[in-house]
Amino acid sequence: MAGGSWSCPHEVDGLCSKVNNLPCDPGMKGCVLAGRYFFFNDDKKNERLRAKREREAAAEPSVGDGVDE
């Protein structure tokens, strides 16, 4: 039984079959995880997620802005 680990279906022998067979680096540009998850070890990988969250926050109407509910 596996000990709770996860493996990417696009990783084949350490290479990413989705991103031009480059060495697998979860969260790299083109990775299915990029912009969807927070990475503790690399701030550059988190830029896309932060930008996405800022856009979502800006698009949501704030309470008391005159929008009828």
pLDDT digits (tens, 9 = 90+) for 17-64: 999 999 988 888 888 887 787 777 777 778 877 888 888 889 887 666
What are the domain boundaries of the chain? 11-59
- Written in H, E and C, the secondary structure of the chain is CCCCCCCCCCEECCEECCCCCEECCCCCCCCCCCCCCCCCCCHHHHHHHHHHHHHHHHHCCCCCCCCCC
What's residue 36's pLDDT?
Answer: 80
Average pLDDT over residues 3-26: 84
Q: Rounded to two decimals, what is the model's pTM?
A: 0.52
Per-residue confidence (pLDDT) for residue 2, from 0 to 100: 45
pLDDT score for 4 = 57
Flag whether pLDDT at 1 surpasses 50. no
